[in-house]
Amino acid sequence: EPEVTQTPSHQVTQMGQEVILRCVPISNHLYFYWYRQILGQKVEFLVSFYNNEISEKSEIFDDQFSVERPDGSNFTLKIRSTKLEDSAMYFCASTATGTGVEKLFFGSGTQLSVL
């Protein structure tokens, strides 16, 4: 079965450093998403991306965050200057169409720890 792949599974970084989280969506998918879960809290929507641009973003997704699809296969989330409160599990997801979460596939997540 096709799957969304996220790397690395764990990332440790120092506060103030830039970090890039990588995702390889399923190959024929067109819509891409990032969610995150701070330990003990809810899974929160960050951003959706379609046709090389952001289609929706939450209030969490401020100027410190950016997304990119650099080469047609990867979908990355960059945090420009990490803060302690950015420590969380980050989930990437993709789907072929923009409607119907039945076909929304999630990766296994990247655990980001900011020290």
Partner 1 sequence: GDSVTQMEGPVTLSEEAFLTINCTYTATGYPSLFWYVQYPGEGLQLLLKATKADDKGSNKGFEATYRKETTSFHLEKGSVQVSDSAVYFCALLKGYSTLTFGKGTMLLVSP
When asked if residue 13 is in the footprint of partner 1 (CB under 8 A), the reply is no
Check residue 110 for interaction with partner 1 (CB under 8 A).
no
Task: Tell which one of 35, 49, 75, 90 touches partner 1 (CB under 8 A).
Answer: 35
User: What type of residue sits at position 40?
Assistant: G
Contact stretch for partner 1 (CB under 8 A) within 13-21, 37-45, 64-72, 74-82? 37-45
Q: Which residues contact 109 (CB under 8 A, 6 or more apart)?
A: 6, 9, 89, 90, 91
- Three-class SS of residue 112? strand
In angstroms, rounded to a whole number, what is the distance separating the alpha carbons of residues 108 and 95? 15
- Interaction of residue 42 with partner 1, rule CB under 8 A: yes
Selected binder of partner 1 within 61, 95, 112, 114 (CB under 8 A):
95
Q: According to CB under 8 A, which one of 15, 108, 113, 115 is a site residue for partner 1?
A: 108
100 forms part of the interface with partner 1 (CB under 8 A): yes
Please spell the DSSP secondary structure of 40-98, one letter per residue: TS-EEEEEEEETTEEEEE-TT--TTEEEE--SSS-EEEEESS--GGG-EEEEEEEESSS
User: Rule CB under 8 A: which residues touch partner 1?
Assistant: 3-4, 31, 33, 35, 37, 40-45, 48, 56, 91, 93, 95, 98-102, 104-109
